[in-house]
Structure 1
Amino acid sequence: MNRIASLVVSIFLALLLLSSTMFVVDQRQYAIVFALGEVKEVISTPGLHFKLPPPFQNVLTLDKRVLTIDTQDADRFITAEKKNLQIDSYVKWRIVEPRTYFVSFGGDESRARDRMLQIVKAALNDEINKRTVHDVISGERGKVMEAIRTKMVGEAKQIGVEIVDVRLKRVDYVEQINNSVYERMKAERTRVANETRSTGNAEFEQIRADADKQRAEILAEAYKEAGRIQGEGDAKAAQIYSQAFGKNPEFYKFYRSLEAYKASFKNHSDVMVVDPNSEFFKYFRSPSSGK
């Protein structure tokens, strides 16, 4: 019975020893095999691997994916104009030299992040100091980010890291000068609005003057054409009247007398003092003969 128990214990110990010599590497990880702080092997191939049991050899895994360092608080920088800016940024990076990275930080990712933040802050400070507020905010923002990334590449390579991307999330003035900046921006926008309004009013007056001129020209041409047509009509009518009344002069006299009567007796209240035997009333006396 004791032999069986001893055998079971031996098998258990053997399995425990064997399990301590095996480890699995994920496809998203590097594995560093080290002994007493010295790197023995770097494994990047996923699968099952073997090593010596502890304490002879140990394994540390490192993430090979793209990681992000996001600044929690905005840092203050001074531009070439000696103006303070608060800038939030983030950096995307990944481990490309696991051995160098392990030697630099002992596999401690928090230490690596702190070092990366120092590098990005130094690069930001160098670039912001050379540029104006306009350049940082909009004019050369892309160039600023690319320059920061270029500056970080060399230092990051020394610690086994590759810089994938650098971005400025937010660029703002410090609280002390926000109000003055807003007032200046407001004044500038007001000036532009007034200039635009003035230009619009000038164009409006010019358009209205042109329209009035065109209207006067059109009306003048219309009156001229109407006068010409009316003149032609009156001449034609006079010709027709002349031809018609020339065939019977007596009827023409009678017609003109009727027109005179109509105009003279237009209002019932009108009073005329005229001799009844005058020439004016000859057709009242004898309409048929005019006598």
Structure 2
Amino acid sequence: MKGLSFSILFAALIAVLVASQTLYVVKETQRAVVLKFGEIVDADVRPGLHFKIPVVNDVKKFDSRILTMDSRPQRYLTLEKKAVIVDSYVKWKIESVAKFYQATSGDEFVANRVLSSRVDTGLRNQFGERTMNEVVSGQRDQLMTELRDNLDKVAQSELGIKIVDIRVKRIELPPDVSESVYQRMRTEREREAREHRSKGLELAEGIRADADRQRVVLEAEAQRDAEMIRGDGDAQAAAIYSKVYKQDPEFYDFYRSLQAYRDSFEGKKDLFVLKPDSEFFKYLNSSTPSK
């Protein structure tokens, strides 16, 4: 009985061992190739459970998801020979498993190293054909599209991988250039500020001169209207005086003499040297009682 149990256990162990050597699983996120003594016999094994011949066959599995290669910032020259520091990354995935294995032996580090060299060369060429303004804003999307398309052709033919996307994270000036660029930008802004101030002062002088001219015109017109009104008033007053004088000349002379007395003797320091029988004292003398 014990011998039978031992035989069953031994057979189960042998079965498990044989299964582990003949069965393998490819996950949904993986692709694989089957080798026979180092030679590819199945170039694209799909996800699922598969069989292999122990010792004879070997299975190499690779990640089929989109991978990211984050490049180190590199220094490039633009068309004007201006240096910029570019930080970029690449999204890629395996397109041909067999070609990828043959080119890199399934090592992602080797693939990233080759891809990084290709991206560096492509960016250097693209930046060298464009000005600073174009690579920063004007043609940045076009630059990335052209580089992705060109690099995708090379990567598929050499490495068996597909370039999904290439992006520039940031573009910076080198430290030795930044200060001079900022100083030039500051000088340019100060020059524009001076131009705006001078134009503002010129406009202000024009407005001020026009306001002064309008003030002089308004004062002259007001003075003219005042003189005309005053002249009309004087004319009306003269007409009224003339009319009154005609009605009672004696009373009019008496009234005017009283006004003259009041105006003449208003101040305490006034001094007049006149003859007592002067015409000025006509009504004063006539008011003196006779002896």
Q: TM-score range by the shorter chain?
A: 0.7 to 0.9
Residue 117 of structure 1 aligns to a residue in which SS?
A: helix
Counterpart Cα distance in 2 of 1:88 and 1:194: 37
The Cα shift of 1:208 comes to 1.9
- Post-superposition offset of 1:118: 0.9
Structure 1 residues 164, 31: CA separation in 2 closer, same or farther (over 3 Å shift)?
closer
Partner amino acid, structure 1, of 2:59: N
1:167 corresponds in structure 2 to: 167
- Cα deviation for residue 126 of structure 1 reads 1.1
How far 1:227 moved relative to its partner?
A: 2.7
Name the counterpart of 1:63.
64
**Does the 8 A contact of 2:31 with 2:64 survive in 1?**
no
Contact 1:30 1:43 in 2 (8 A): no
Give the match for residue 203 of structure 1.
Answer: 203
Cα pair distance change 1:41/1:177, threshold 3 Å: closer
- Gap change, CA 1:33 and 1:156, over 3 Å in 2: closer
1:43-84: per-residue Cα shift (whole Å, max 9, x none)?
Answer: 556xx432326543425131323x332223x21223333333
Which moves more between the two structures, 266-275 or 78-87?
Answer: 78-87
Going from structure 1 to structure 2, the CA distance change for 1:85 and 1:202 (only over 3 Å counts) comes to same
Contact in 2 for aligned 1:62/1:107 (Cα 8 Å): no
Instruction: Note if contact 1:62-1:98 (Cα within 8 Å) is conserved in structure 2.
Output: no
Q: How many residues align?
A: 281
Once residues 16 and 260 of structure 1 are traced to their aligned partners in structure 2, the CA distance between those partners, rounded to angstroms, is: 148
Shift of 1:224: 2.5
How far apart are 1:272 and its partner, in Å? 1.8
Match of 2:93 in 1: 94
Distance 2:81 2:68 in 1: 31
Describe how 1:1-291 pairs up with structure 2 within 5 A: 1-15=2-16, 17-18=18-19, 21-23=23-25, 25-26=27-28, 29-36=29-36, 37=38, 38=40, 40-43=42-45, 48-52=48-52, 54-55=54-55, 56-65=57-66, 67-72=67-72, 74-158=73-157, 159-286=159-286
1:39–1:99 Cα contact (<8 Å) kept:
no
User: Which letter does structure 2 place at the counterpart of 1:70?
Assistant: D
Q: Deviations over 1:66-105 (max 9, x none)?
A: x332223x21223333333322222233333334333322
Letter matched to residue 204 of structure 2: F
Is this contact kept in 2: 1:51–1:57, CA < 8 A?
A: no
**Matched AA of 1:30:** Q
Aligned to 1:94, the other structure's residue is in SS state strand
SS for the counterpart of 1:107 is coil
Distance 1:255 1:39 in 2: 144
Give the secondary structure class of the aligned counterpart of 1:216.
helix
| Worse-matched range after superposition: 214-223 or 237-246 | 237-246
Q: Could you say what secondary structure the match of 1:184 adopts?
A: helix
Question: TM-score if structure 1 supplies the norm length?
Answer: 0.81
Q: CA deviation at 1:282?
A: 2.8
d(CA) in 2 for partners of 1:116, 1:245 = 121
Name segments (4+ residues, structure 1) moved above 4 Å. none
Pick closer, same or farther for the CA change 1:137–1:227 going to 2, 3 Å. same
Amino acid at match of 2:169: K
Task: Work out whether residues 93 and 161 of structure 1, in 8 Å CA contact, stay in contact via their aligned partners in 2.
Answer: yes
Q: Counterparts of 1:19 and 1:246 in 2: how far apart (Å)? A: 149
Confirm or deny: 8 A CA contact 2:35 2:42 kept in the other structure.
yes
Over aligned residue pairs, what C-alpha RMSD do you find? 2.8
Q: Which runs of 5+ in 2 are unaligned?
A: none
Amino acid at match of 2:265: F
Answer whether contact 1:97 1:160 (CA < 8 A) is retained: yes
Give, in whole Å, the separation in 1 of the partners of 2:70 and 2:230. Answer: 89
Q: TM-score scaled to structure 2, two decimals? A: 0.81
Distance 1:17 1:262 in 2: 147
CA drift of 1:268 comes to 1.3
% of aligned pairs identical? 37
CA distance in 1 between counterparts of 2:111 and 2:191 reads 51
Q: Which amino acid aligns with 1:127?
A: Q
1:153: Cα distance to partner?
2.3
Once residues 86 and 271 of structure 2 are traced to their aligned partners in structure 1, the CA distance between those partners, rounded to angstroms, is: 103
Deviates more, 1:255-264 or 1:231-240: 231-240
